[in-house]
Amino acid sequence: MELGERKLRILQAIIRDFIFTAEPIGSRTLMKKYDLGISAATIRNEMADLEELGFLHQPHTSSGRIPSDKGYRLYVDSLMIMDNLAQKQKQVIKNSFVESVGELEQIITSTSRILSKMTKLTSIVLSPQFEQSKLKSVQLVPIDEKNVLLVVISQSGIVRNAILRINEGYTLDNLAIISKILNSKLKGLTIGDINFYVVKNIKMEMKKLNALIDAIIPVLLATLEDMVNVQLYLDGITNIFHLPEYHNIEKARDFMEMLDQKEHIMELLMDSKDGLDITIGKENKHEEMQSCSLITATYKVNGFIVGKIGVIGPTRMNYDHIISVVDCVTKNLTNLLNDR
C-alpha cells in the first residue's frame, strides 16, 4: 500500500523529532511543533494507520509513538534529506587526512578516529584487502653477511618488508639474479595469482641457487599473506554512554560485548554492499545487532584495493548527518590512498 503525502509528512516529522529528542511523540505535541496544517484528531488517526501498517509503534499504551525499523527504512530510502556538511566540518575532515602521513596503519587509525569524532558514534574501519593488488617489484637488499632485507611493493604503493636469515651466505651477484627472476615472474600478478604453480616455476628456473631460493620463498609467501590479512579498527566505543538508549548499564554492557566479537563485526562489513549501505535493526542477521543500525561505505585504490568504513549506533541515529559524514570521510580516504 502506498502512503499518501499526508502520512509521509507525519512519519517524517515523527522520525526527525524522535532522532533529536529520544522521546515518543503524541498527536497534540506533533501539531504544536510542526506546521502540518491539520488538526490533532486527524494526526491521531493518521498515526494509528501508520502504526497498523508497521511504520510506528507505541512503547506504552499511554505514550506517543516512535518509529519502527520499517519506518526508519522508508525514511532512509525516500524521506531523508541529506545533510549538507558545513564548510568548517568538511575542512576538519580534510585536515585530519592531510596530517595522516606514513604507514597505512596510521592512516586507517586516523580514519577511524575522525569518523567517531564527527558522528559521536562507534566507528569501524576494515583495512584494505590486498588480494587483487598487483605486485610492482620484489627487492633483495643486503644488510650484512648473513641477513638480507626483502622488500615487496605493490602497484598501489603498499610496502611490506621482512629480514631473511641466509645461513649459507650469499653473493651480490646471486641476489641480483634472484631479484631479476622474481620480478620477471611476479611483476603484474595479483597477490591472489601467486600460487603453488607460480612458485614451482620460479624454483625450476633457479635450480643452481636452491639453497638461497629455499630460504627466500617461505618468507616471501609469508610477507604476501600478511599483505592480504584484513584488520578491523574501532574507535569511539565509549560514545554510547552519552546516548539515552545505553543509560541502562546492562544494555551498554551488551553493546560492548557485541563489539568485542570482532569476527561478527568483520563479517557484517564483508557482507555489506559496495558503495553506501545502510542496515537497520532487524535487517541485521546477528541478534545482538538488531537494536542497532550499521552504515558502511566502500573505498578503493586504483580499482584494486577495497576496504570498508562505517559506524554502528542505535536505530535512532541522525541518518541525514551521519551518512554525509561517512561519505565525506570515504572520499578523503580514497583520495589520500590514490595519491600515495
Q: Give the CATH number for residue 13.
A: 1.10.10.10
Co-location of 149 and 53 in the same domain: no
Average pLDDT, the chain: 88
- pTM, to two decimals: 0.79
Co-location of 40 and 67 in the same domain: yes
| DSSP designation for 134 | B
> Which strands make up the sheet holding 135-142, listed edge to edge?
135-142, 147-154, 159-165
Neighbour-count burial of 210, counting CB atoms closer than 10 A to its CB (0-12 exposed, 13-18 middle, 19+ buried): exposed
Q: If you write DSSP's letter for every residue of 173-206 in order, what string do you get?
A: HHHHHHHHHHHHHHTT-BGGG--HHHHHHHHHHT
Domain holding 167, by residue range, is 135-228
**CATH number of domain containing 275:** 3.30.450.40
CA 241-296-129 angle, to 5 degrees, is: 115
Phi, psi at residue 156, to the nearest 5°? -85, 5
Give the SS3 label for residue 106: helix
**CATH number of domain containing 195:** 3.30.390.60
Co-location of 325 and 235 in the same domain: yes
> Which strands make up the sheet holding 305-314, listed edge to edge?
232-235, 122-129, 305-314, 292-301, 277-280
Domain finish residue from 196, 228, 260: 228
Domain finish residue from 41, 56, 79: 79
What pLDDT is recorded for position 225?
80
Co-location of 97 and 220 in the same domain: no
Co-location of 109 and 237 in the same domain: yes
Co-location of 251 and 322 in the same domain: yes
Co-location of 109 and 236 in the same domain: yes
What pLDDT is recorded for position 339?
73
- Distance between CA atoms of residues 146 and 308, nearest Å: 41
Co-location of 150 and 13 in the same domain: no
- Nearest to 118, CA basis, from 280, 292, 298, 321: 321
What pLDDT is recorded for position 113?
94
Number of compact structural domains in the chain:
3
Give just the sign of the alpha carbon dihedral 186, 188, 191, 195.
negative
The cell for 58 is 507505541
Q: Is the pLDDT of residue 302 over 80?
A: no
Compute the chain's Rg from CA coordinates.
27
Domain finish residue from 228, 244, 277: 228
| pLDDT tens, residue by residue, 225-237 | 877 777 889 999 9
Q: Is the pLDDT of residue 212 over 90?
A: no
Co-location of 114 and 140 in the same domain: no
Contact 305, 129 (CB under 8 A): yes
The cell for 113 is 578516529
Q: Which residues pair with 279 in a beta bridge?
A: 294
Co-location of 121 and 247 in the same domain: yes
| pLDDT tens, residue by residue, 64-90 | 999 999 999 999 999 998 888 889 999
Residue 122's pLDDT band (cuts 50, 70, 90): very high
Average pLDDT over every residue of 311-332: 95
Q: Please state, as a whole number, how many other Cβ atoms lie within 10 Å of the Cβ of residue 65.
A: 25
Co-location of 99 and 234 in the same domain: yes
Co-location of 35 and 159 in the same domain: no
Does 206 or 10 have the greater pLDDT score? 10
